[in-house]
Amino acid sequence: MHHSTFTTLAAVALLGMLSACGGGTSPSSSGSGSGSGASTGGGNGVVVDRGPTSISLDGDPNGLFWDADTATLFIADDNGNRILSWTDTQGLGLAAELPPAPPDSAGLGQVVKLKDGTLVVPRFGGGTAGDVVYAKPDGTNGVVPNLDPLRRRIGLTVSEDGTLYDTFFVAMNGIKLGSVAKLDLAGAETEVITGLKKPVGVLAAKGDFIVTEQETGNVLRAPIASPDQIVVIAQLVGPDLLTDGPMERFSPAARTAVSARS
């Protein structure tokens, strides 16, 4: 069995870049970090983990989502077709099982949590079986209906007003065409940013979209209210998924900008 790790950075940041590899079948029974981060004394005798800290698990972590209200990290486990959770106090556990996926086509992307506790995550599908699935707090789960299975979905974000947006691309004769789309769990997907190549990460933050295009290396920004006004704000090698990081008001151990793992 191949054990994977993801690395947390004990620093306050707004964005985390993710990349994926690994394998396995069940969550680790230990929630303790195995990292090499330095620990230093803070005020009032508090020990602060300066990170980075690696947390081991049996699975293939890809999309990550930090739930500030409960100080919980949600992890899309691609190998297990499920969502795991991690907290400072409880360690690693199972958050939700997902609907069965066609063989070799799970490919979980970015996971998000809605205000009602529903967890939503796209499945890549390899160009034949792309979809979006969800798991509700009552233990039920399902597949969003009426979505085009040819679309390879990876990124997902939820705006402050609760609107979902995903990224997808289609590949034809080696040419990739991608978009950012508004997603309705009732079964609708409406493009809001078009003309992209391979959009991967998307984040709705402070009235803007932040989008990563993996093939071009561009990090893009566009106002949610005027998504056609796109500007390049950075260039990176192989940028991947995006997620919000924790804020200062949480404990030092929970102030984690979830970044990358290998």
- H, E, C per residue of 112-162: EECCCCCEEEEECHHHCCCEEEEECCCCCEEECCCCCCCCEEEEEEECCCC
- pLDDT, residue 36, reads 47
- pLDDT, residue 40, reads 53
Q: Is the peptide bond before 122 cis (omega within 30 degrees of 0)?
A: no
Give every residue of the chain whose pLDDT is below 70, as ranges: 1-51, 104-106, 247-262
- pLDDT, residue 50, reads 64
Residue 184 C-beta-side C-alpha neighbours within 13 Å? 7
* Cα 33 to Cα 73: distance, rounded to the nearest angstrom: 14
Residue 94 near residue 115, CB atoms below 8 Å: no
**Distance from the first to the final alpha carbon of the chain:** 15
Cα–Cα separations (whole angstroms), residue 103 to 48, 126, 149: 44, 11, 14
Continuous segment of H or E residues that includes residue 175:
strand 175-184
Cβ neighbours of 74 (radius 10 Å):
22
Q: How confident is the model over 166-207, as pLDDT tens digits?
A: 999 999 888 999 999 999 999 999 999 999 999 999 999 999
Length of the chain equals 262
Q: How confident is the model over 215-242, as pLDDT tens digits?
A: 999 999 999 999 999 999 999 999 999 9
DSSP letters for 70-98: TTEEEEEETTTTEEEEEETTTEEEEEEE-
